[in-house]
Amino acid sequence: MVNQFPLKLVTFTCILVVAVIWMGGFTRITDSGLGCPDWPGCFGEMVMPTDAGRLAYLQERYPDIHVAAHKGWIEMIHRYIATFLGFLILIVAAIGVQRRSLPGYPTFLSVMLLGLVSLQGAFGMWTVTLKLLPKIVTAHLLGGLIIFSVLLFLRNRLQRFFDGDLAQRKMRPVVLVGVALLFIQIVLGGWVSSNYAGWACPGVWSCAPGAEIQYDFREGFDIFMAVGPNYEGGSLHLEARAAIQMVHRVAALILVLYWVWMLLQLARDSLVRRGQVIHFTGLLVVQVLFGFANVVYAVPDSLAFIHHVLAVLLLYSAWSIAFSTSSLVNEVVYDGIERK
């Protein structure tokens, strides 16, 4: 029997990276990003202090932040899980190098992951040391999504490797466009969150019914903002935050319309399983409903976190569709019928 330990390890790592992304979102949503203002420790220690006297001293030493034990613990738990993730990816890379002589083994992907997680660790550090600079926070989210995607791709390759399927496959461009749109939308959501723009538009169908807002897209999407200020709580004017929020909503509409059209096309050609269509569509509908709920209830932490969780699940579902609808590289099409 073939030793499938690498597949099991990568599967567990996929689950763990989801936990890291979710915990990162929870850290951001609860304003715990500066719960530990230094890195990699927390106020110079590897465990968040909880003694009342120590906390009072730290508050005097760090007057620009709110020192709270629970925020420090949220941030440190995120770091602990992320460190464990990095350790597992190091093992994945080592196994990849060890098995590099096996035909078809995805060694390159295994090693590339190690480079990605190292860069991600650097962005985690900069998120803290640059005081939640929005472009760094958003890049940190993007890095997590990329690592998750590469892990899913690696798991798919390993599954095929152990099944004896070494044929080259390509994913359909129409599905990859859908995945790209979903990536863009999640990153826009990160930009909304890192700039505290979730509450900027209290209206459901428009930004602010009965009021005229001059959207400031230039300031809202300025990636060259000053480095140095503490960005906790946001620093943009209302017009800039409203511009970010409305772009996020328009992008969501484009995403929904594209995926509905694409799934109908794939289902018509019997290229996607009914269960996958139901799974993705269900997640999409629930995500839209929670998007509306966040507007109506002014983005409470609980709803914002659920919105974040659903976004990651949608990305997983989208990649599952991309993998299952892929075709052999040497397949050709005659009159709409694929042949080998």
75 assigned to active site: yes
Looking at 45, 60, 75, 232, which residue is catalytic?
A: 75
Q: Which of 166, 188, 208 is the last residue of a domain?
A: 166
Q: For residue 2, what pLDDT is reported?
A: 63
**Total domain count, the chain:** 2
Residues 290 and 302 in one domain: yes
pLDDT higher than 80, residue 5: yes
Tell me what the mean pLDDT of segment 222-251 comes to. Answer: 95
Q: What is the 3-state secondary structure (H, E, C) of 58-94?
A: HHHHCCCCCCCHHHHHHHHHHHHHHHHHHHHHHHHHH
Residues 13 and 39 in one domain: yes
Residues 99 and 175 in one domain: no
Q: Which pLDDT tens digit goes with each residue over 123-156?
A: 999 999 999 999 999 999 999 999 999 999 999 9
Beta carbons of 287 and 249 less than 8 angstroms apart:
no
- Token code pair at residue 2: 């073939």
Q: How confident is the model at residue 81 (pLDDT cuts 50, 70, 90)?
A: very high
For the entire predicted model, the pTM comes to 0.94
Beta carbons of 179 and 319 less than 8 angstroms apart:
yes
Residues 42 and 100 in one domain: yes
Residues 153 and 248 in one domain: no
Q: Which pLDDT tens digit goes with each residue over 34-58?
A: 999 999 999 999 999 989 999 999 9
Residues 100 and 181 in one domain: no
Q: For residue 222, what pLDDT is reported?
A: 96
255 — phi, psi (to 5°)?
-60, -50
Q: Which of 125, 146, 166 is the last residue of a domain?
A: 166
Q: Which pLDDT tens digit goes with each residue over 277-329?
A: 999 999 999 999 999 999 999 999 999 999 999 999 999 999 999 999 999 88
Residues 224 and 141 in one domain: no
Q: For residue 166, what pLDDT is reported?
A: 84
Q: Which residues form the domain of 191?
A: 169-340
What is the chain's mean pLDDT, rounded?
94
Beta carbons of 201 and 246 less than 8 angstroms apart:
yes
In the chain, where does DSSP find H-type helix? 5-29, 52-61, 69-98, 107-129, 134-162, 173-194, 217-220, 238-268, 274-296, 301-324
pLDDT higher than 50, residue 334: no
Q: Which of 166, 195, 210 is the last residue of a domain?
A: 166
Residues 174 and 119 in one domain: no
Tell me what the mean pLDDT of segment 13-36 comes to. Answer: 97
pLDDT higher than 70, residue 161: yes
| Percent of the residues in the chain that have a pLDDT greater than 70, as a whole number | 96
C-alpha 96/C-alpha 102 separation (Å) is 10
Residues 196 and 70 in one domain: no
Residues 137 and 173 in one domain: no
C-alpha 15/C-alpha 84 separation (Å) is 12
Residues 85 and 232 in one domain: no
Residues 109 and 196 in one domain: no
